[in-house]
Amino acid sequence: MAYNDDAVLAKLSALNETQESIVTVAQWIMFHRRYADRTGQLWLQKLKDSGSNKRLNLVYLANEVAQQSKARRKDDFLIAFSPVIAEATATAYKGATSDVQNKLKRVVEVWRQRQIFEIPIQEAVEARIEELEKSRSSNRKGLGGSLFSNNSSSAPSELQPLVGPQQTISKLVLSTKTSTNSANNDYEKLTNPNTPTPSAPVYAARLNGLLKTLANAEGAVAEVIKSRNLLIEGLEKLLETNRNALTEEKAQLNLLSSRRNEIDIKKRDVEDSIMQGLANSSESTPADGSPGNQMGTPKSEPDRPEVEPLSPPLRPMKEEATQQESLPDFDLNSSAAATNGSIYTSQSMSMSPTSGLDLLSSVSTSYGRSNSMSSIKKRKLNDDFPEMGGDAMEGLDADVAEMLRQDSAGA
């Protein structure tokens, strides 16, 4: 069968949901791949004019043609379907039953997994379906998963009004460019004076197709313009808000700067007054109120205390000898006097001045010997005159006899 619009429309009308029918029509369409652009336009027209179930079959047909073209590395139909696939999918999805919508979602998911279309085209398809989902139920949050994920929630709240228009522009730019190029090419071919004029029915069909192509391109460009206007409006609002905030922040900055300088000056004044007070307090004044110079003439240090020696001072040797020699006057007989005299004489001869520790030891020794000699004297007196009676006192001076009696009674 030769390729023409009627033949294409006839093939599309005979399409059913069986796999055999879809594969047969897909092979015939791919055989005429040089008319891929025209086939894409007729396919979109047929999809819009069909019912819900028929639309699903047409989407299955486009899926088969696109995957076969991707596998064979023939991009004719991929380029032809790119400008219209988002609109066609949205048309098939809108007003369909839940079962048909789930099947359409599955087809779109396969396109993403196998990367059939370019990323902007794929995102445009998902965005159109997501918009329909939001319009159906405001409390539903998209279709979920990696298929129709929305990353606008990660943007700040001030930029949320800009996310939607920017995403729409990014998704429509490529498809709009493709649709515009296709419409311009068809227009050049059809209006070229060198091209022979076909028969009237064929020429009318081509003009009708070109009219729809131009309308599709015009609609795509209008959508981009609308999105850009929304984006510019949001940017202007955001810019105005930031300008007002900037003016307020500048005024606040000037106020804070002036206050900081004022407090800095006060702090310096307080520090200067503190330093002056310390300087005045450090200068001492006498009792009469006149300024003194005690700071310039420090007080003299007191003399060191005299060190008291640890050892007692020595008595003069002459006095000690005199005291020791006076003891024999109390002896009662010559033998006792001789004995005592010899003892004291030996002590006097043994005494000699010493120094340091020897002086201390000699003093303690002589003190001990003096006590011992005193006890010896008393013992000898008692021993020599134990039985002495009144006759023993005869011939003595009365005073001496009385002293002896007192001495004996005290012992």
Give the residue extent of every domain in the chain. Answer: 1-149, 153-269, 327-410
Q: Domain 153-269 falls in which CATH fold?
A: Methane Monooxygenase Hydroxylase; Chain G, domain 1 (1.20.58)
pLDDT at 392: 58
What confidence score (pLDDT) does residue 226 get?
Answer: 86
Q: Which of 98, 236, 234 is nearest to 168 (CA)?
A: 234
Residues of the chain with pLDDT under 50: 139-153, 287, 292-296, 321, 325, 327, 330-332, 334-357, 359-361, 363-370, 376-386, 388-389
Q: If you ran DSSP here, which 8-state letter would residue 328 be given?
A: G
* Per-residue confidence (pLDDT) for residue 198, from 0 to 100: 82
Q: Measure the CA–CA gap between 55 and 92, rounded to whole angstroms.
A: 6
Cα–Cα distances in angstroms (integers) from residue 50 to residues 56, 88, 113, 301, in the given order: 10, 12, 28, 123
Q: Which fold has domain 1-149?
A: 1.25.40
Return the pLDDT at 207. 87
User: Do the first three CATH levels of 1-149 and 153-269 match, i.e. the same topology?
Assistant: no
**Other beta carbons within 10 Å of 218:** 13
What is the pLDDT of the chain when averaged over all its residues?
75
CA dist 325 and 327 (Å) reads: 5
Q: Minimal CA–CA distance to 347: which of 376, 324, 322, 364?
A: 324
